Amino acid sequence: MAKTPTGFKTRLEPQDEFPHDPGDAKNYNESMYFNVFDPAKKTGGWFRVGNRPNEHYAEMSVCLYLPDGRVAFMFGRPTIEDNKELNAGGLKVEVVEPFKRLKVTYSGKALVLARPHEMADPKKAFRENPTVPCTVDLTYEGVSPMYGGETVKADGTPLEIDPEKSFAKAHYEQHCAASGSFSVGDERFEISGYGLRDKSWGPRHWQAIDWYRWCPMNFGRDFGMMLSTIGDGKGGVRQGGMVFRDGIYDLIEECVIDSDWDEHGYQTALRAMVKTEGGKAYEVTGQVISLIPLRNRRTAPDGTELQTRITEGFTEYRCGELVGYGLSEYLDQIVDGKANGKELGF
């Protein structure tokens, strides 16, 4: 998350919690994402529903990390007719009170993976693992201010963007508390924990970003972070994010993430050095508890096959003596069979 450039401003209003006019861009996407992790039970998950109304489908994902290392997962591209609500494939988001309270529910199926890495080959994973009934019922409460919104010109008029090179024209995030339950087959889990939610809207291709490392985490109700490093496509790295402490967001101006990898090129641990605009410095370490690799594929107009890999790691974080939980989400474009991300390192 970067500073707003001179001559522009960030606009965010309560009605932005609800769907927008998609306009004419074929690849318009409007999505909400939520995660939650229970620090006592060491379980949790994340959920995303993204409408692509001009392509007449939605992207739906449910991912639950179970205490014994299994992952329950489901995704789909259900048909939709419009952009009136975020409710597709059994996953529904309800805005109870903008910026303060939302509900996430799911009723459908989930694939139960004893070896989550098998999702690198989705067809094989679905063929060789059991699918069971799954429900989710969670209430989210915002505990932080809102961060982000839509960058517009100083007079409030929208920016001109190239839909083919866009990842989102607007984006905001918020640290949350969440409680409720989910069920996987005959197992039921009561959840009370912390997480982060975000929303974005505008034209999106998953291949529009070179690579990124996105690490949202919570150390309790009053302390959390979101660390972000993004490859700029020119060999450089944009560093950002924010620290939530003392009721405010202190924006990050320096963030260096150094990761350890397994034989598949998936993250297993990380170390981060963070400096904020408020003059604070933090050292954060993360140990991945459970990870599932996902992918997005698209054929470019020139016929080139493009593939994006997104590895979703349930991660235990430490900052000083504090222990927290969250996600390490690493996105890379696959080029010649290999992930292209290049971290700065220490």
Amino acid at 292: I
pTM value? 0.91
Backbone angles phi, psi at 40, to 5 degrees: -80, -40
CB 76 within 8 A of CB 109: no
Percentage, residues of the chain above pLDDT 70: 90
Q: Is residue 341 part of a domain?
A: yes
**What is the pLDDT, as a whole number, of residue 64?**
98
Q: What angle do CA 164, 167, 170 make, to 5 degrees?
A: 120
Q: Is residue 326 part of a domain?
A: yes
CB 230 within 8 A of CB 330: no
Number of domains in the chain: 2
| Burial (CB count <10 Å: 0-12, 13-18, 19+), residue 117 | middle
**What is the pLDDT, as a whole number, of residue 161?**
58
**What is the pLDDT, as a whole number, of residue 112?**
98
Q: Is residue 8 part of a domain?
A: no
Alpha-carbon distance of 265 to 27, in angstroms, equals: 30
Residue after which a domain boundary falls, among 156, 176, 204: 204
CATH of the domain at 81: 2.40.370
Q: Is residue 214 part of a domain?
A: yes
Residue after which a domain boundary falls, among 204, 226, 261: 204
Identify whether residues 166 and 233 lie together within a single domain: no
Backbone angles phi, psi at 161, to 5 degrees: -130, 155
**What is the pLDDT, as a whole number, of residue 167?**
47
Q: Is residue 144 part of a domain?
A: yes
**What is the pLDDT, as a whole number, of residue 159?**
59
Instruction: Give which of 306, 308, 346, 345 is closest to 329, Cα–Cα.
Output: 308
Q: Is residue 319 part of a domain?
A: yes
Q: Is residue 5 part of a domain?
A: no
How are beta strands 237-245 and 248-261 bridged, if at all?
Answer: antiparallel
Q: What six digits make up the tokens of 146? A: 């809102």
Whose structure tokens read 């975020």? 86
Q: Is residue 10 part of a domain?
A: no
Identify whether residues 277 and 153 lie together within a single domain: no
Domain extent at residue 95: 20-204
**What is the pLDDT, as a whole number, of residue 157?**
66
Residue after which a domain boundary falls, among 176, 204, 232: 204
pLDDT in tens, the chain (346 residues): 445 656 667 899 999 999 999 998 898 999 999 999 999 999 999 999 999 999 999 999 999 999 999 999 999 999 999 999 999 999 999 999 999 999 999 999 999 999 999 999 999 999 999 999 999 999 999 999 999 998 777 666 665 655 555 445 789 999 999 999 999 999 999 999 999 999 999 886 656 778 999 999 999 999 999 999 998 888 889 999 999 999 999 999 999 999 999 999 999 999 999 999 999 999 999 999 999 999 887 777 777 788 899 999 999 999 999 999 999 999 998 887 787 877 766 5
Identify whether residues 152 and 221 lie together within a single domain: no
Identify whether residues 200 and 214 lie together within a single domain: no
**DSSP letter at 79?**
B
Identify whether residues 213 and 310 lie together within a single domain: yes
Identify whether residues 128 and 153 lie together within a single domain: yes
Identify whether residues 271 and 295 lie together within a single domain: yes
Identify whether residues 66 and 92 lie together within a single domain: yes
